[in-house]
């Protein structure tokens, strides 16, 4: 019986094993059949292809304006220079093979070893990032697959089949040559010869190992390893490739040590001279609005990793935000030489302009110069220049109002002041007209902004704190760096583009909300699927009351100040002029300016205009008597007048709750006293809680019975401005006659004001109490009377308006 049971148990086990084997074999067979059918289906639906597509690209992408009207057709518009196999150095071929496909010369188009290794890596890492494509597969993908970025099994099978076909039809050297001529290497450069020109200004046969290594490292992420935008990443990737070259015996260990730290000299020169790359060869279609379209293309390439293959022959539909009316008007204005000052020679004085809708962030117009070069320098988005006084509302006045305790009637003294400039030097900011017109004395914030007074702006930034001003500007989207955290930030020493400035000013026009600037709404592929849509965010970066007060003050700049030329009928126009100054160390006693700006906006549009030379290699190419309120403001008005045609006139910026008004004494920033002369009383606005509640104490009757200004902190030897001179508290000072001897040594006070309210030379708190004027802490000039306040130590300011990294203090920006 026991023997029978054992026999039956063995039979049952054998039956189970057979059943398992049958089921397993069936599953394997089904999987093989299924895989075969899937491969067969993929092969059946193989894309139609022509071997000539290895050198010719035929599919076009369409670009549309904001209303969906076609403005451009992109096809065969590539920076491509075809190169014969014999002209490609062996070092280039060996390096690309070592980095991209080390078994290239032994596989049949696909590499089973690489596929298996990639699969194991992906399983172990629980990701799908490891690439398994051979050079032949990459060539097949880029030449024949309609959507080369689609990560589907069908596409991979089709790619593999086509790679095997290519290996059967062409030699290895032919395939490698096709690949090296077709591969995209960033900056709209196709093929290694075009890339050699773009990144090094050389022919392919002139490249050294470091330069070849950089190019060989780019195919994985052309935008991410672009040295124009990501030099650190490009250098790290180059070092890795040089290591592969060394380990493969392509270069020696000595070569590796020699080249691994080589600087990007050509790239740095191009960035400094032109603001970016100038592509070597571009064959492009003649399309409308080229500066705008070029910006869209570079944005898709650099920010969204859309390859130029897709852009130029991927059948895309690109829906942009350009307004044809505004863009056409701007382009016409830039072509009219009457809108620009005359140059000293045949080199054009250049310009740039950006216009955007502040409520949506949509860019409506971009003009990057007066002489368009296909895919060349776009000054509106690439040329970083110092903005001069146009930056003051963004990093000084806006953050002061936002901080609280300050309002348009806050009074500071425009008189000589010195700060620690570092290295034992003193920095004494002044205005362009200080030498000719003298100091302006005690002035309000509104007047300082209208007349673009530099000393006021620097003193105010010192009071609110450089970090506060820097962070406020950063929140507006300005590309500020740590080196910009200095007092000369108030005078516009950072580097910005017209697009940067348009986006920043847009937050004021949109009542304190910052919106992501964008030049396209979506990109759709040939099947109708959206492949790219920008992420548009709206962030409140300041209180609505802050935005309104800045808008109101900048309206005064247009109605009463340096931007008078920008007025447009009854429209509410706000604006700010800016002009940078020559570096005195380079230009000695010459007068002129490198840059002239105008930043203007209405509730509907923001427009920024810049003018100047691209560079000054000989010390002669700079502007002469050209200020922001002149040519730039006039060109802005021409464009914006057309932009506003047919729209309802808006005579005011939106006024939020929390705005109050009242009369103030313009020499103290407090409520007028019974002694305040009528000409120094005006009505001013403020955020609720920031309007003064205390009475002015600067007006007193002296021992001679005369009304005088009680300003004990002011240097007794200083020349007073004409409106204050009649009230100077010194003998023989009436009607402007001045003496350095005080009339009496006792400080007289307004009899209606308690003595405890009299201002002294003590430094104020960083935020004045509500209603108190923001006083300033200054250092006296040489020979100042004892008891004057001392110089505060501040971060070392940049050198000049044209060289922010120099250790010497900057020259003042001009307020025109």
* Angstrom distance (rounded) from CA 297 to CA 323: 17
Element (H, E) at 706: none
- SS3 call for 487: helix
List helix spans (H) across 744-815: none
Q: Rounded distance, CA 44 to CA 551, Å?
A: 65
CA dist 259 and 814 (Å) reads 46
How far is the C-alpha of 9 from the C-alpha of 3, rounded, in Å? 10
**Two structure tokens written together for 75:** 């096809």
User: Which residues, at least 6 apart from 474, have a Cβ–Cβ distance to it below 8 Å?
Assistant: 480
The verdict on whether 588 is a catalytic residue reads no
Tokens of 253: 């260990």
Token pair in block for residue 393: 């509302």
From the centroid of its chain, how far is CA 514?
Answer: 15
Q: 775: closest CA among 713, 716, 731?
A: 713
Strand partners, 412: 443
Reduce the DSSP state of residue 685 to 3 states and report it: strand
> How does 649-684 read in b/e, with b if 16+ C-beta sit within 10 Å?
eeeebeebeebeeeebbbbbbbbbbebbeeebebeb
Catalytic residue among 133, 389, 581, 604: 389
Distance CA 183, CA 194 (A): 10
Q: Mind giving me the DSSP string for 336-404?
A: -GGGSPPPSSSSPPEEEEEEE-TTT-BEEEEE--SS--TT---TTTT--B--GGGGHIIIIIHHHHHHS
Q: Determine the Cα–Cα distance for residues 633 and 557; give it in Å rounded to an integer.
A: 12
Among 100, 301, 331, 724, the active-site one is 100
Contact 314, 145 (CB under 8 A): no
Residue 389 designated active-site: yes
Give the residues across from 426 on adjacent strands.
Answer: 420
Active site residues: 100, 389
């Amino acid at each position: 019986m026991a023997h029978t049971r054992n026999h039956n148990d063995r039979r049952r086990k054998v039956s189970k094993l057979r059943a398992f084997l049958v089921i397993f074999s069936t599953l394997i067979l089904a999987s093989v059949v299924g895989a075969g059918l899937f491969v067969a289906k993929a092969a059946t639906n193989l894309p139609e292809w022509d071997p000539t597509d290895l050198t010719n690209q035929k599919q076009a992408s369409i670009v549309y304006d904001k209303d969906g009207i076609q403005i451009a057709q992109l096809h065969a518009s590539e920076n491509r220079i075809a190169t014969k196999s014999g002209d490609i150095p062996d070092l280039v071929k060996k390096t690309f093979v070592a980095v991209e496909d080390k078994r290239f010369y032994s596989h049949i188009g696909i590499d089973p070893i690489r596929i298996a290794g990639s699969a194991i890596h992906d399983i172990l890492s629980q990701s799908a990032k490891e690439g398994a494509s051979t050079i032949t597969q990459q060539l097949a993908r880029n030449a024949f697959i309609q959507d080369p970025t689609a990560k589907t099994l069908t596409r991979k099978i089709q790619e593999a089949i086509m790679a095997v076909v290519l290996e059967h039809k062409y030699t290895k050297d032919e395939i490698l040559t096709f690949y090296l001529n077709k591969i995209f290497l960033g900056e709209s450069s196709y093929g290694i010869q075009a890339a050699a020109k773009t990144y090094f200004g050389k022919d392919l046969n002139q490249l050294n190992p470091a330069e070849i290594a950089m190019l060989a490292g780019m195919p994985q992420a052309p935008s991410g390893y672009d040295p124009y935008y990501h030099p650190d990443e490009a250098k790290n990737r180059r070092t890795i490739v040089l290591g592969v070259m060394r380990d493969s015996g392509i270069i020696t260990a000595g070569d590796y040590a020699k080249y691994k730290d080589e600087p990007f000299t050509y790239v740095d020169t191009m960035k400094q001279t032109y603001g970016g790359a100038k592509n070597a060869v571009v064959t492009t279609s003649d399309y409308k609005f080229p500066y705008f379209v070029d910006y869209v293309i570079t944005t898709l390439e650099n920010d969204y990793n859309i390859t130029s293959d897709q852009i130029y022959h991927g059948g895309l539909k690109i829906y942009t935000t350009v307004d044809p009316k505004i863009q056409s008007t701007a382009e016409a204005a830039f072509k009219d030489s009457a809108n620009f000052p005359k140059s000293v020679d045949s080199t054009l004085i250049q310009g740039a302009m950006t216009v955007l809708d502040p409520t949506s962030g949509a860019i409506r117009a971009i003009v990057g110069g007066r002489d368009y070069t296909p895919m060349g320098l776009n000054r509106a988005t690439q040329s970083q220049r110092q903005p001069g006084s146009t930056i003051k509302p963004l990093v000084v006045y806006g953050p002061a109002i936002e901080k609280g305790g300050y309002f348009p009637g806050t009074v500071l003294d425009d008189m000589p002041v010195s700060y620690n400039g570092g290295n034992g030097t003193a920095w004494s900011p002044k205005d362009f007209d200080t030498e000719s017109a003298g100091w302006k004395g005690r002035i309000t914030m509104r007047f300082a902004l209208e007349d673009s007074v530099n000393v006021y702006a620097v003193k105010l930034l010192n009071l609110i704190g450089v970090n506060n001003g820097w962070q406020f500007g950063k929140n507006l989207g300005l590309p500020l760096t740590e080196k910009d955290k200095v007092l000369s930030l108030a005078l516009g020493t950072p580097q910005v583009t017209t697009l940067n400035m348009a986006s920043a000013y847009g937050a004021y026009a949109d009542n304190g909300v910052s919106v992501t600037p964008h030049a396209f709404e979506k990109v759709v592929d040939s099947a109708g699927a959206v492949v790219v849509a920008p992420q548009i965010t709206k962030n409140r970066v300041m209180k609505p009351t802050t935005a309104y007060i800045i808008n109101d003050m900048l309206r005064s700049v247009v109605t009463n100040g340096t931007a008078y030329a920008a007025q447009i009928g009854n429209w509410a126009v706000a604006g700010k002029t800016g002009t940078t100054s020559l570096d005195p160390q380079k230009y000695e006693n010459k007068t002129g300016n490198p840059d002239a700006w105008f930043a203007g906006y209405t509730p509907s549009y923001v427009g920024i205009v810049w003018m100047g030379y691209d560079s000054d290699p000989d010390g002669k190419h700079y502007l002469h008597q050209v200020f922001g309120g002149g040519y730039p403001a006039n060109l802005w008005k021409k464009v914006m007048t057309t932009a506003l045609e047919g729209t309802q006139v808006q005579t005011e910026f939106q006024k939020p709750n929390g705005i109050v008004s009242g009369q103030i004494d313009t020499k103290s920033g407090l409520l007028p006293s019974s002694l305040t002369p009528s000409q120094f009383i005006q009505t001013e606005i403020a955020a609720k809680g920031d309007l003064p509640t205390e009475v002015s104490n600067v007006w007193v009757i002296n021992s001679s019975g005369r009304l005088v200004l009680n300003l004990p902190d002011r240097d007794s030897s200083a020349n007073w401005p004409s409106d204050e001179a009649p009230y100077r508290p010194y003998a023989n000072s009436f009607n402007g006659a001045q003496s350095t001897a005080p009339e009496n040594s006792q400080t007289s006070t307004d009899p209606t004001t308690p003595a405890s309210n009299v201002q002294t030379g003590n430094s104020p708190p960083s935020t004045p109490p509500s209603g108190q004027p923001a006083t300033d802490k200054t250092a006296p000039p040489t020979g100042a009377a004892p008891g004057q306040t001392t110089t505060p130590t501040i971060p070392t300011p940049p050198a000049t308006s044209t060289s922010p990294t120099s250790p010497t203090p900057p020259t003042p920006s001009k307020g025109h």
